[in-house]
A and B are shown apart, each in its own frame.
Chain A
Amino acid sequence: MSAEAAKPKPKSAAKPKNGAARVKKAPEKRQEELGPLRNQLFPIGVDYFPLDEERAGFNEWYQRDYEAEFTAMAEARLSLVRLFVSWKLFEPQVGQYDADAEDRLADMLAAARAHDLKVIVTFFGDDRLAEMNDLPWAKKRDPRTDDYLIAREVALVQRIANRFRSEPSLWAWELGNEAFITGFASEDALQKWAGALRDAIREVDTVRAVLLGCDPETLVRETGVDARTAVDGFEYGVSHVTAPYRAYAAEGPLTYGPATYLDSFLLRAALRDLPVLANSIGVHSLEPSVAEEAAYVRVALYSALMNRASGAVLRRWRDLETEKREPYFRDPYEVLVGLTDVHGEPKPVLAEVRKFARVAARLDLRMLSLVPERAAVVIPAERYEPLPSLTGLYAPRSCLQSYIAAKEAHLPVGLAREGDEIGSFHALFIPSAARLTPAMWASLASFVQSGGSVVLSYGGGDADPALREVFGVEFLGDHGVRPVVSCRIAQPGLLGDLTSFDVQLDVPHYALVGAGTSTVVATDATGSPLLTLNQYGQGKAVFLAAPLERAIAQSDPWAAPDAVRSLLRTVYGSVARAAGAGPVIDCNEPSVEIALFTGEAGDVVFVLNHSSEPLTATLTTDRVVASVADIRGGAAAPVGARAFGVPLGANGAAALRLTYG
């Protein structure tokens, strides 16, 4: 029996009503030995839904032993909990508020405070079970657009915010969640609703952050409504891998391939000028085993920290106890994906969360900062084109593959959108774009002219005249679909260590180009340029004649030919290095992601294995590393070289403190 299990249970963790949390108590060591329990600058939290049993009624809103569960959360080193206000319960009749419900919320906030948990209070969230917004008196009017109901909503949020504005445990107010916000049919309606409620809260509480609970990228994919402008009016953004978005962008195994990059891709997409919470991390179906679920959550949590999230919130505290019936018909949406099972027993995923929290707690984000991203994948504006244009459907997948290629080249990489300011970057990747706006072409020309580097892959259709100017190639036409990608190296070493190959991969287009002023780096089997490099002003412009990112995305991203993936990451890496946007720490394993936090007292490197096989990654730095030590503590291992190996388990991660000498 472990030392942890041998410890007597504290009273607060004794078996509560409904068999709630029975999470093991951590050994009682001195605080100095343990180090900080939580990272206040990177809070880790969980969604705490009002009902844990399918047969429960809406009025049983949080009628359970939340004290015990908050204890368990605190012991798991969580620092955030999201609570959901039930409008139906709080305002049973127009203008009449339920004092008991408000008192229960007050008790919960006090309990959270007692356990040093911060709270996000969500208004108008929908869990598809607790009927939180199903008002009997609303007479089926839409709470998103009906002026009267919006006025009632304003009254409710002001009432709650006013009562609890001095509550220290409150961390933020949140408006809606994905399930509610997908009901909006237009940007205007969303902006009007979100603006009215945000202003209402700010009238009474100017201290707390206000969030809009939707990820703009997944929302635009789901509904066609672009929430970016609405989100810009808030203090935080959120990123959220929804089940439909995963089915669209990375349907497949969770523990390797594109699925492991999707969380950070959406996080990067949501990161614009606001800090972003990585929201509702967890699986979306019941297919993965508990071990796969734990591995996936581990990757998602580390990805969040390594890609500039401001915190992470897990999908559900406890599994929903469903009605005993066969077959199992309930949508698995937020049902059996909790950190604990229906009896409150911790699942393996909770152990992962606790381990991660321990690592995150040791990362002093006041002293350390992530190396800035000087390379970016550009999401073309055509991504927002509706059907019948298919570019809106192709573009996000191509961008995800481009992002993965950049990660495989170990580049610190961000996402930018066509039209964004690109001057802060040194290298840009524009994957498989069919059309760029004239303004973007002008911006690109200026960017390259002044020393930036660009990799552009052809996306079909006619080429813009600026292609000739910037990329130095003469566009002769689209050769159409090709079932084989052939590469013959014409200029070895010019864009990294490329090799010739022929592989089966359907490419939807192939640009026939004349070399013009550019240098042909590689051709296809017939001698038609595949890869060209043009010096334009101070910078370099690389043209790929085939939309390889889209070809990988549209074929089988889990079994894409290694040769094509290698070509992409080699070109990306080479271009970025030459532009001063290369990796700060290099690695021999493409599936390993690296993030370096630098500080005056030393650096911390995070290493994450995106494959489901164990491996040893060799990291190479610019300086001689004197020693490495696990960030959680323990003895430092002497290195005395520029390269050192890091053994990683399947989907494993390591956080190492580096000292140089």
Chain B
Amino acid sequence: MPRSTALLTAEELARQGAVGAAVSACYEALALDNREPRIHALLAHLMLEGDFYDQAIAAATRAIEIDPDCSAAYLALGLAYDRRGGMWDQSVLVWHELAEVVPDLVTAHVQLGEAFSAASFDDEALDSWKRALVLDPKEARATYNLAIASLKREGMALALPLFRQAGELDPSQDELFFHLLGVKDGAPGPIDVEAVKPDRASRLSVAGLALKTEDYFAAADLVRLVLDENPDDPEALALASFAYLKQESANESMACALRALTLDPELATALYCLGVVYARRTGLNRHAARVFIALAKRAGSHGLVHVLLAESLLGLQRFEAASKAYRLAVRLDPACVRARFGLAASYLTEGRHAEAQWEIRRAAYYDTKRQGLFWRLYDEYVKAGDGQ
């Protein structure tokens, strides 16, 4: 069935983020046809955007009543239940249903796991997160949840590697390095090393872009050219350290970072690389913590720096200090999923279960907002409807 002009207007406004105008347009569309599930689903999404959960639940439920295959409405309904809190039994049913309707939707399995976990069905929760990782081995939130589950069952020593593993799946860690480097976007196209201006600044700048786009060959060539001219260039050594780090060559990365820091003890990019290498090595948490403390002094306004420090402190079983660092990270960046899970872990070590649960819910809140899954499901649903 074709969409009405009012619905199209509502969609357009919603995509632009004009929530108020889009809600008005939805009501106009409903006045014309109140049995159109797409309008109710869209309204549910808009209410969810405003964190008006009861309204979102009502609209999504109506959409599902009209069409039980409306996957976008299931998503909105499940998210509304989860964000509202205290409705885990309903939430389990919705995510279960969505996982049936869209089996490859990784988030449905992650959310289902969190709903199971909140309702104290721990084994079912583990199964859900494992299923999510089968579908997408790089799903960071499923790994964070497994780390939390491991913490509850086996303690911090065994959970910490999982936290770090999840952190490395989380793209935000690389973002920190590029933030420290001052690189915002990657190279727009393939990099021709020969075409780069033959001066240090240009070579290092393009090397940074190459690293951002994971073109490690071009980056290595450019760094090598700089180091050929001056083997004691700390910035080039820091780039080399990062390139080695990304290729799992920890010893080489450590060597380059140490050399860079010998030349410039306050170089943030080198501090970052050295800290990350130390953190990966068993038994070097104390070293990692010292390096991250130094990094926090250099780049304290970035939340992830404090997350890295907190993780090292967790490894040292200094839970109170870790908790403080995580809290600072959350204050600096409320949307930092890694900080939220870390804070949840430190709360769990203090026996503050309700607050831990809250942090996990907030992590899910920001993660699902970032993903923008609604529009994918909505567009697929609309396409399927238009095809009929």
Interface residues of A (CB under 8 A from B): 243-244, 247-248, 251-255, 284-285, 287-289, 292, 327, 329, 332, 387-390, 393-394, 460, 481, 504, 554-556, 558-559, 561-562
Contact = CB atoms under 8 A, between A and B. Distances in A.
Contact of A554 (B24, B50, B121, B353): B50
A248 B53 contact: yes
A562 B86 contact: no
B23 interface: yes
Contacts of B120: 327
B55 interface: yes
B362 A504 contact: no
A388 B24 contact: yes
16 contacts: A247-B53, A251-B84, A251-B85, A289-B354, A292-B352, A327-B121, A387-B23, A388-B23, A388-B26, A390-B50, A390-B52, A393-B52, A393-B55, A504-B333, A559-B330, A559-B331
Contacts of A561: 331
Given A556-B362, A561-B331, A562-B331, A287 B86 contact: yes
Interface residues of B toward A: which range?
A: 20 to 34
A244 B26 CA distance: 24
B27 interface: yes
A422 to B, nearest CB: 28
Contact of B27 (A387, A555, A558, A562): A387
A327 B17 CA distance: 40
Q: Chain A binding site: helix, strand, loop or mixed by DSSP?
A: loop
Interface in B175-212: none
Interface in B65-97: 83-86, 89
Nearest to A222: B54
Contacts of B84: 247, 251
**Chain B residues touching A, majority SS:** helix
B86 A387 contact: no
Contacts of B85: 247, 251, 285, 287
A253 B357 CA distance: 9
B49 to A, nearest CB: 9
Given A287-B353, A555-B334, A247 B86 contact: yes
Given A289-B351, A388-B26, A559 B86 contact: no
A288 B354 contact: yes
B119 interface: yes
Contacts of B352: 289, 292
Interface string B128-145: 000000000000000000
> Nearest 9 CB-CB pairs, A to B?
A559-B334, A388-B27, A556-B334, A288-B354, A287-B354, A285-B86, A388-B24, A388-B23, A247-B84
Contacts of B354: 253-254, 287-289, 292
Interface in B17-51: 17, 19-20, 23-24, 26-27, 50-51
B358 interface: yes
Interface in B276-333: 330-331, 333
A554 B365 CA distance: 13
A289, A329, A390: most-surrounded residue (chain B CB, <10 A) = A390
Given A285-B86, A556-B334, A247 B54 contact: yes
A172 B205 CA distance: 78
Contacts of B55: 387, 393
A387 B23 CA distance: 8
Contacts of B123: none
B86 to A, nearest CB: 5
A332 B89 CA distance: 12
B355 interface: yes
Contacts of B53: 247-248, 251
Given A248-B54, A387-B55, A327 B331 contact: no
B86 A243 contact: yes
Contacts of A387: 23, 27, 55
Contacts of A327: 89, 119-121
A591 to B, nearest CB: 14
A298 to B, nearest CB: 16
A561 B351 CA distance: 27
Name, among B20, B27, B53, the residue most crowded by chain A CB atoms within 10 Å (CB to CB). Answer: B20
Contacts of B334: 555-556, 559
A389 B50 CA distance: 12
Given A247-B84, A393-B55, 7 more contacts: A247-B86, A251-B83, A284-B86, A287-B86, A388-B26, A390-B50, A555-B334
A289 B354 CA distance: 7
A532 B362 CA distance: 35
Contacts of A559: 330-331, 334
A385 B143 CA distance: 44
A253 B353 contact: no
Interface string B340-371: 00000000000111110110001000000000
A481 B19 CA distance: 11
B26 A390 contact: no
B351 A481 contact: no
A185 to B, nearest CB: 16
Contacts of B20: 389-390, 460
Contacts of B17: 481
A655 B119 CA distance: 40
A292 B355 CA distance: 10
B52 A248 contact: yes
A253 B19 contact: no
B104 to A, nearest CB: 28
A389 B21 CA distance: 9
A329 B89 CA distance: 8
A423 to B, nearest CB: 34
B36 to A, nearest CB: 16
A562 to B, nearest CB: 7
B299 to A, nearest CB: 16
A109 B151 CA distance: 53
A5 B53 CA distance: 48
A335 B23 CA distance: 37
A327 B26 CA distance: 39
A435 to B, nearest CB: 12
A287 B331 contact: no
B51 A554 contact: yes
Contacts of A554: 50-51
A151 to B, nearest CB: 35
A327 B116 CA distance: 11
**Most A Cβ at <10 Å: residue of B50, B52, B354:** B354
Contact of A253 (B26, B330, B358): B358
Nearest to B333: A504
Nearest to B355: A253
Contacts of B362: 556, 558
Residue among B24, B53, B358 with the highest chain A CB neighbour number at 10 A: B358
A252 B354 CA distance: 9
Contacts of B23: 387-388, 390
Interface string B1-27: 000000000000000010110011011
Nearest to B46: A390
Nearest to A460: B20
B239 to A, nearest CB: 28
A150 to B, nearest CB: 30
Contacts of A562: 331
Interface string B99-116: 000000000000000000
B44 to A, nearest CB: 13
Contact of A252 (B89, B121, B330, B358): B358
